[in-house]
Amino acid sequence: MCPEASASHVAEPNIEAVLQDEIFRLYGEVAENPEGDYHFYHGREAAELFDYDRQLLEEAPQGAVASFAGVGNPHLRAGVQPGETVLDVGSGAGLDAYVAARAAGSEGQVVGIDLNPVMCRKAREHVQAHGLRMTCHEAPMEKIPVEDGTVDVVISNGVLNLSFRKAQAMREMFRVLRPGGRLSVTDIVTGRQLSQAIVNDPKLWAS
């Protein structure tokens, strides 16, 4: 706005800030109240729909299973091996971090990032309660607080669609990968123009 503009002028809301607020609210609610009624698949129903192993779901932290809000199963192609370092972009309540930590074993480690501090805390608690190694950073995917070339596998489950700067987020994922490292991403894409009703609804963008 120009300095000369009227003080009574009300600026249009920053859509990115509005979306981020809704992401915080929605996924914080999923973490704290997984039994709530949401307009997307979540919890064990979603995990089974996306071919997570049922025995693994029985053994996993039940809080992480109940608050699962992914859109697919990155582990089907990630191929995490013992001793590897895994970066989980958008770690949520920790189900994917737990699966990766089991595969990486005692010599490996999982590093999570999530914008929501509630999710980061829950992911750490869920994974560490099972004697597995995980750290989690409250950080955006467009600026990952991990050194260059230090990660064997990057996984991501339904978070790239939440970024306004997807190319930057992808550059960050490739930056942290070691030579020969692997990237396994599941997400929602569409080849159709979104209706204005969807575009104008932060709740739908956030999910």
Sequence spans of domains, the chain: 15-206
Query: Tell me, what's the pLDDT at 195?
Result: 76
pTM, two decimal places: 0.83
Per the DSSP assignment, residues forming a β-bridge with 75 are none
pLDDT for res 203: 63
Alpha-carbon span 30 to 38, nearest angstrom: 8
- Coil, strand, or helix at residue 99? helix
User: What is the pLDDT, as a whole number, of residue 49?
Assistant: 94
Residue ranges of the chain whose pLDDT lies below 70: 1-13, 15, 23-24, 26-41, 198-207
- Return d(Cα 69, Cα 72) in angstroms, integer: 9
Instruction: Map tokens 């480690």 to a residue.
Output: 109
Spatial distance between the Cα atoms of 88 and 94, rounded to a whole number of angstroms: 9
Three-class SS of residue 41? coil
Q: What is residue 188's predicted lDDT score, i.e. its pLDDT?
A: 80
Helix (H) or strand (E) holding 86: strand 85-89
8 Å CB contact between 90 and 23: no
Residue range 15-206 in CATH 3.40.47.10: no
